[in-house]
């Protein structure tokens, strides 16, 4: 029997006495399915992901606590979604007719609680946009309550994965993007989402002189109507309650804008047993933008014992993680156009010149609120016919790093 899982990386499929266990990990929770047959792993994994997503929709957030508080609701969900081990439905529109239990929110909902502001998809610290808490509440909890606002959130989320060679040449740059909708409207008629008109798709299309926004390929949710997409770049969709991805797109290799960060590292051997790592980091975003939660991880030689650092401002932090043999430099806010530098002195007993090879590659993680690297924008968001009563529409953009690696 499985008694302990190795780290956070157990195999996705485990087998014990003819019984297969398939799991996904979301929100710090393991969602496990067991089967005796040999089904499609794609179906199982997507279903588990969908189940986790629905749980999040219905309970507001995904955590051990919210699951424990809403066990009756989750039992009910599961009962309607799966019968005798067969998937019956996973669509919010159908499920909402059957789900009767109301969610228990794990924290009281307050618009003024801006300390933890973020997207429902990604943790961010953006301000002045819609409070994230507004998006992380149960979709059904608002029957007759005052908090029941007719809100709809449209998020454009882009994930960057970049590899920069030691000579500063970009070796790989990929953007995976998606447009996600989270809808709290109990009933919603057709919604029209207008994208940039000059958006071009595919590598073959000629690029004009204008700053055309280009993506390589895109895929849509099956409910999206595309009859106006080819000419006017308008997506038509009738969003159902809860969270859904209406469009996924990607762009490989030719980024339209400069990379957000440039790193100028230098690594030297100082005294007998000390490595000097000097990092100069420049943020190439437009001056008005800011990068948040920037963290830089630099692998250091094995056997590093201690480190001293010189940072340029007090809100930055740096620490040596001997277990991962890496040093971590964190910058909470990084305005566009700024340049920061830091000097690290790492003590490594028994240092050889070959050990310097172990320094690098540097990996970075960050968030760029209100930014899309492809330049994809939402021109307008129209609900037709106009909904009765007030409805709030929020459009939010965020880019964050999937993997941003810089060789030294």
Partner 1 sequence: MPYFGSEETVKELKRALSNPNVQADRLRYRDYISKVIRYMTQGLDVSALFMEMVKASATVDIVQKKLVYLYMCTYASVKPELALLAINTLRKDCADPNPMVRGLALRNMCNLRMPGLTEYLEQPLVAGLRDKASYVRRVAVLGCAKMHSLQPSTEIDSSIVNELYALLRDPDPVVVVNCLRALEEILKDEGGVVINKPIAHHLLNRMKDLDSWSQSEVLTFLLRYIPRSDEELFDVLSLLDAFLQSPHAHVAMATLCLFLHYASSHTAVQNDALQRSTAPLLASCGTTSRELRFAGLCHIRQVMRSQPSLFASHYKRFFCSYSEPGYIKLHKMEILVELVNDENVALVLEELRSYCTDVSPELAQAAITAIGRIARTYTEKCLEILTGLLSLKQDHITSAVIQAFKDLVWFCPQSTASVCNAIESCTDRPQDSEGKRALLWLLGEHSEGISSAPYVLEELCADELKTEWSPGVKLELLTAAVKMFLSRPAETQDTLGRLLHHCIEEESDMCVRDRALFYYRLLQRGIQETKRVLSGPKSDPSLSMLTGRQEEPVIRWVSDFNTLAPLMNKHDSMLKESERLLATQPMGVFSALAPLMDNGTSSPLQTERQRRASEPVVTTTENEPPPGDTDTTLSSHGKEDEEEAFCLSASPPLSHEEFEKLWVELQTLHTQNLLAPCAQTAPETLQAILQMVHIQTLAFTPAHTLPWRAFLYTRSAATIILTEILQEEDTVQVSVKQYPENKLALRGFLSTLQSAFQTLNAENTCENVALSF
335 is an interface residue for partner 1 by CB under 8 A = no
325 is an interface residue for partner 1 by CB under 8 A = yes
End-to-end CA distance of the chain: 44
326 is an interface residue for partner 1 by CB under 8 A = yes
* SS3 of residue 98 by DSSP: coil
Q: Which of the stretches 108-116, 135-143, 167-175, 273-281 binds partner 1 when contact is defined by CB under 8 A? A: 167-175
Looking at the DSSP bridge assignments, the partners of residue 295 are 330, 365
Distances, alpha carbon 55 to alpha carbons 51, 118, 213, in Å? 6, 19, 36
* Site residues (CB under 8 A) for partner 1, limited to 6-35: 8-9, 11-13, 15, 20, 22-26
Question: For partner 1, which residue of 3, 4, 17, 42 counts as binding (CB under 8 A)?
Answer: 42
222 is an interface residue for partner 1 by CB under 8 A = yes
Q: How far is the CB of 143 from partner 1 (least distance, A)?
A: 13
250 is an interface residue for partner 1 by CB under 8 A = yes
How far is Cα 226 from Cα 211, in angstroms, rounded to an integer? 24
* SS3 of residue 118 by DSSP: coil
315 class by beta-carbon count within 10 Å (0-12 exposed, 13-18 middle, 19+ buried): exposed
How far is Cα 115 from Cα 28, in angstroms, rounded to an integer? 22
The rounded radius of gyration (Å) of the Cα atoms in the chain is 24
Question: For partner 1, which residue of 34, 88, 110, 116 counts as binding (CB under 8 A)?
Answer: 88
- Mask for 94-133, x = binds partner 1 (CB under 8 A): ---xx-xx--------------------------------
171 is an interface residue for partner 1 by CB under 8 A = yes
Residue number with CB closer to partner 1 (347 or 358): 358
Strand residue runs (E) in 40-83: 82-83
How far is Cα 59 from Cα 199, in angstroms, rounded to an integer? 37
261 is an interface residue for partner 1 by CB under 8 A = no
Question: For partner 1, which residue of 5, 36, 41, 268 counts as binding (CB under 8 A)?
Answer: 41
170 is an interface residue for partner 1 by CB under 8 A = no
- The neighbour count for residue 143, using CB atoms within 10 Å, is 8
Q: How far is the CB of 213 from partner 1 (least distance, A)?
A: 20
Long-range CB pairs of 313-322, under 8 A, 24+ apart, other chains included: 313/340, 316/340, 316/342, 318/342, 318/344, 320/346
322 is an interface residue for partner 1 by CB under 8 A = no
- Mask for 292-321, x = binds partner 1 (CB under 8 A): -----x-x--x-------------------
40 is an interface residue for partner 1 by CB under 8 A = yes
* Site residues (CB under 8 A) for partner 1, limited to 272-291: none
Question: For partner 1, which residue of 324, 339, 341, 384 counts as binding (CB under 8 A)?
Answer: 324
């Amino acid at each position: 029997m499985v008694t302990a899982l190795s780290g956070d990386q157990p195999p996705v499929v485990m087998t014990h006495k003819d019984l297969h266990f398939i799991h996904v990990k979301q929100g710090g929770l393991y969602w496990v399915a067991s089967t005796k047959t040999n089904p499609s792993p794609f179906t199982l994994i997507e279903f588990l992901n969908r189940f986790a997503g629905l749980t999040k929709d219905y309970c507001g957030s995904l955590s051990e606590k919210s699951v424990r508080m809403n066990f009756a609701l989750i039992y009910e969900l599961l009962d309607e979604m799966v019968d005798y081990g067969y998937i019956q439905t996973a669509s919010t529109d159908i499920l909402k007719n059957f789900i009767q239990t109301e969610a228990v929110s794990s924290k009281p909902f307050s618009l003024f609680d801006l300390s933890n502001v973020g997207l429902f998809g990604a943790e961010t610290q953006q301000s002045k946009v819609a409070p994230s808490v507004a998006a992380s509440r149960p979709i059904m909890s608002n029957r007759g309550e005052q908090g029941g606002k007719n809100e709809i959130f449209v998020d454009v989320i882009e994930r960057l994965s970049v590899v920069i060679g030691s000579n500063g040449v970009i070796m790989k740059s990929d953007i995976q993007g998606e447009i996600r909708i989270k809808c709290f409207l109990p009933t919603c008629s057709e919604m029209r989402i207008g994208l940039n008109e000059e958006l071009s798709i595919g590598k073959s299309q000629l690029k004009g002189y204008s700053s055309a926004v280009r993506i390589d390929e895109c895929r849509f949710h099956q409910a999206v109507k595309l009859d106006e997409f080819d000419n006017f770049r308008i997506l038509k969709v009738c969003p159902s309650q809860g969270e859904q991805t209406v469009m996924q797109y990607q762009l490989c290799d030719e980024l339209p804008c400069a990379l957000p960060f440039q790193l100028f590292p230098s690594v030297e051997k100082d005294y007998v047993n000390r490595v000097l790592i000097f990092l100069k980091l420049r943020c190439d975003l437009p001056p008005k933008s800011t990068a948040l939660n920037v963290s830089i991880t630099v692998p250091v030689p094995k056997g590093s014992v201690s480190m001293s650092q010189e940072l340029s401002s007090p809100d930055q932090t740096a620490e040596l993680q001997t277990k991962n043999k890496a040093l971590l430099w964190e910058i909470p806010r990084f305005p566009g156009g700024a340049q920061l530098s830091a000097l690290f002195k790492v003590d490594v007993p028994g240092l050889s010149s070959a050990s310097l090879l172990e320094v690098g590659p540097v990996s970075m993680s960050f968030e760029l609120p209100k930014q899309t690297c492809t330049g994809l924008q939402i021109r307008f968001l129209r609900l037709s016919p106009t909904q009765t009563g007030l409805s709030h529409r929020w459009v939010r953009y965020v880019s964050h790093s999937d993997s941003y690696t810089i060789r030294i």
